[in-house]
Amino acid sequence: MTKQPLTLYLAAPRGFCAGVDRAIKIVEMALGKWGSPVYVRHEIVHNKFVVDGLREKGAVFVEELSECPDDRPVIFSAHGVPKSVPSAAQARNMIYVDATCPLVSKVHIEAQRHADNGLQMIMIGHAGHPETVGTMGQLPPGDVLLVETPEDVQTIEVRDPERLAYVTQTTLSVDDTAGIVAALKARFPAIVGPHKEDICYATTNRQEAVKAMAPKCDAMLVVGAPNSSNSKRLVEVGARAGCAYAQLVQRADDIDWRALEGIGSIGITAGASAPEVLIDEVVDAFRARFDVTEELVETAVENVEFKVPRIFRQAS
């Protein structure tokens, strides 16, 4: 039987970012240095395939520090943690390694600096997301106000409208965030923002590639986890950029082939915590069913690399 022709657009950049790459490497290096088990507070990155792979090597994933024994190393996830977490680890004399993405750490430092200058902090982010919890936890409880939408901006109560600053979660939609920032500036003209947008380079680049790819595609799949903020944003960006069908899939097994009947083109990308092996799996699934012509949609080239913590760079 002749296979139906299909143009497969592959977004670039896609998949792993430097912060995710570094975090996974930290867990692997910790296992090499201290043996198993090594404890990890929260999923190191939001991807089941990655987490399961590290679990097989001896990583134990927990949600709270209280679940960790005193005598084994613990790693804090790439999303960052409130200040109270390393303080508690120090109090217990634990070995701990902070795998927080350096771009998230930059936001933590910004928040602290503004607070030290007497400014009340507003955070643009998603309630309950570990990165938002970690950033808000850099300051005492109640000191940071959270806004998720332009509507939230209209109802927040601030101490002094002349003494405000804002930071953002690094994995938000660039366009949505711009709308919230505009609302903040309209209501609080004196508000101070970051010198450069807090949304990280990887989130921005992946969204730009999707915007370039979406109008060409009958359908689009984003390889990523349902709890991955940046992956979910890619689905939204694709739909908004003109792709009639945009869906999140964790693996090739999740593809809804019935929904894709009759398509002539498909766009494929992946969130920043999805490994290339899962993207290849999805591409191979299309090759098995269609006569695929592959085209790369490249909007940026990434060469960012972050150093691992000093503890792994010293001779043991």
Residues that are catalytic = 131
What letter represents residue 138's amino acid? Answer: Q
Nearest to 275 by CA among 52, 27, 6: 52
Nearest to 4 by CA among 266, 296, 282: 266
Cα torsion 190, 162, 169, 266: sign: negative
What letter represents residue 92's amino acid? Answer: R
CB atoms within 10 A of CB 102: 14
Token reading at 165:
């600053």
Token reading at 139:
């300051």
Nearest to 31 by CA among 117, 79, 97, 102: 97
The answer to whether 251 and 281 are in contact (CB under 8 A) is: yes
Name residue, tokens 């303080």.
87
Angle at 12 between CA 214 and CA 125, to 5 degrees: 75
Token reading at 298:
């490249």
The answer to whether 215 and 13 are in contact (CB under 8 A) is: no
Angle at 225 between CA 224 and CA 229, to 5 degrees: 90
Question: In angstroms, rounded to a whole number, what is the distance separating the alpha carbons of residues 92 and 90?
Answer: 5
Strand order from edge to edge, sheet including 120-124: 144-147, 120-124, 164-168
Name residue, tokens 């920043």.
272
Cα torsion 104, 141, 166, 154: sign: positive
